[in-house]
């Protein structure tokens, strides 16, 4: 397995356009997370899935943001009517709960979005 | 609500000296604690975790962390720093979702 894969790696878009990012998690992982990271800051939680069910959305995730994981495998994150404030690195992570408690998340390299 | 705090924006240490990167947490119940490292233009990499058991946790690249319940701390340590350890380090508290601190930049000088 090659780890968590995110596409595209970079995206430049004009304000007002829609963008969609894709994340392919590690195949046996049933949890998938989306985070947003701005320069010099820690990743901010956006949302997460357990298989195909979206279990939690952060208040950071406005109505312009939507995420799906239709078959419990890959996930997409769409941003509609992009704004300059959406410029950030969007990180995807996956994990597989095992045993007691939780396990670490494995991160992709992220998609860097620049809204001009 | 759970949270973590990393009180230092940057830590400077000379190569060969011990290093400590500080982290304190706030959770209700038992904490699941993690350290991640981020190198330039690369994704976050897992270093180590505390779920239960021994308070001293050993991880990748010679790093270790000490869980202190009374002080609600989970400081990252390494006995002898390398220049290649220079990176951005994140403490995190997990459960169904993982919440990250703001990060501490470690600079190891040759």
Tell me the mean pLDDT in the region A48-72: 90
Q: How far apart are the first and last CA of chain A?
A: 36
- What pLDDT score does A102 carry? 63
Domain limits, chain B = 3-109
Tell me the pLDDT tens digit for each residue of B8-29.
999 999 999 999 999 999 988 8
Angle at B32 between CA B41 and CA B94, to 5 degrees: 50
A4 to B43: CB separation less than 8 angstroms, yes or no: yes
Answer whether A101 sits within 8 Å of B34, measured CB to CB. Answer: no
CA distances from B18 to A24, B9, B38, B68 (A): 38, 18, 20, 19
Distance to chain B for A16, nearest Cα, Å: 27
Which of B44, B81, B41 shows the shortest CA–CA distance to B61? B81
Question: Topology of B3-109 in CATH?
Answer: Immunoglobulin-like (2.60.40)
β-pairing, B10-14 with B104-109? parallel
What would the mean pLDDT of A90-104 be, rounded to a whole number? 77
Distance CA A16, CA A39 (A): 22
DSSP class of residue B7? -
Residues of A in contact with B53 (CB under 8 A): none
pLDDT class for B4, splitting at 50, 70, 90? very high
**Contact assignment for B46 to A40 by CB distance below 8 Å:** no
């Amino acid at each position: 397995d090659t780890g968590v894969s995110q596409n595209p790696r970079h995206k430049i878009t004009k304000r007002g356009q829609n963008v969609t990012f894709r994340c392919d998690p590690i195949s046996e992982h049933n949890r998938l997370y989306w985070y947003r990271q701005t320069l010099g800051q820690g990743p901010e939680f956006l949302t997460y899935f357990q298989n195909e069910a979206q279990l939690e959305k952060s208040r950071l995730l406005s109505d312009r943001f939507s995420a799906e994981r239709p078959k419990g495998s890959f996930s997409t994150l769409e941003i509609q009517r992009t704004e300059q404030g959406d410029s950030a690195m969007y990180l995807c992570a996956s994990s597989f709960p095992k045993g007691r408690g939780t396990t670490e998340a494995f991160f992709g390299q992220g998609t860097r979005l620049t809204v001009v | 609500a759970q949270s973590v705090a990393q009180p230092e924006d940057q830590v400077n240490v000379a190569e060969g000296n011990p290093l400590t990167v500080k982290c304190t947490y706030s959770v209700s119940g038992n904490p699941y604690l993690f350290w991640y490292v981020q190198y330039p233009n690369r994704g976050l990499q897992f270093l180590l975790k505390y779920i239960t058991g021994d308070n001293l946790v050993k991880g990748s690249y010679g790093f270790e962390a000490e869980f202190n319940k009374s002080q609600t701390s989970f400081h990252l340590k390494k006995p002898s720093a390398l220049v290649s350890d220079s990176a951005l380090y994140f403490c995190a508290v997990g459960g169904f979702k993982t919440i990250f601190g703001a990060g501490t930049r470690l600079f190891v000088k040759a």
